[in-house]
Amino acid sequence: MEPAICSSIVRAESLPAKPTNETEALAIRTAKVDDAASMWQLVDGLGVLDLNSRYCYLLLCREFSDTCLVATLGKRVVGFVTAFRSPQRPHTLFVWQIGVDAALRGQGVAGQLLDSLTSLALGEPIRFLEATVTPSNTASRRLFQSFAGRHGVPCRIEAGFTSEMLGGQHEAEQLFRIGPFPETMHRG
């Protein structure tokens, strides 16, 4: 079966962080071990993302801190993205999870996290970004398609993990493969 191609739009610059009120502006930075509990609580409170163990968030923040980011308002974590470089394909960044506080959904926070993630990734240039998304998760599907469009690169949707592979109690996950990105996009 041929992979689907995400629609693309003309490339635009990364969105600036938008203030949500007159005193606080959204800040995006690399995750620290101290952020793991807030990330876990955010996912637990949302109720729509797969809740990983607290230990998993601790490991991601410690071992993959250069590819895990948090969005904050003041000292409060209001969003995050966890990702890692594929050991088999070091030019590919795999997005494990992205979550945004329900009060800030639709304000571009997830897109800003992805843009920051690819521009700040250290080491070898990132040529591809991958993520798995369920067919029913329209918000994430739109997020990754919009990201590809902003950067003027293709987005292919392929078979990922079947429901059976995921124990039969979880919807299948499709693989979104975005790129290749131009090498000039990277500072790392």
Residue 149 one-letter amino acid:
G
pLDDT given at position 120: 76
| 100 DSSP β-pair partners | 79
> Would residue 149 count as lying in a domain?
yes
> Would residue 14 count as lying in a domain?
no
The domain in which residue 172 lies consists of: 4-8+24-185
Per-residue model confidence as pLDDT tens digits over 75-111: 999 999 999 998 999 899 999 999 999 999 999 999 9
> Would residue 16 count as lying in a domain?
no
> Would residue 181 count as lying in a domain?
yes
Number of structural domains the chain divides into: 1
- Cα–Cα dist 110/104, whole Å: 9
pTM (2 d.p.): 0.83
CATH number of the domain that residue 89 is part of: 3.40.630.30
> Would residue 17 count as lying in a domain?
no
Please write down the long-range contacts of 44-52, taking CB distance under 8 Å and 24 or more positions apart: 45/102, 46/99, 46/101, 46/102, 49/97, 49/99, 50/97, 50/170, 52/97
Per-residue model confidence as pLDDT tens digits over 135-162: 999 999 999 999 999 999 999 999 988 8
Q: What is the mean pLDDT of residues 45-57?
A: 93
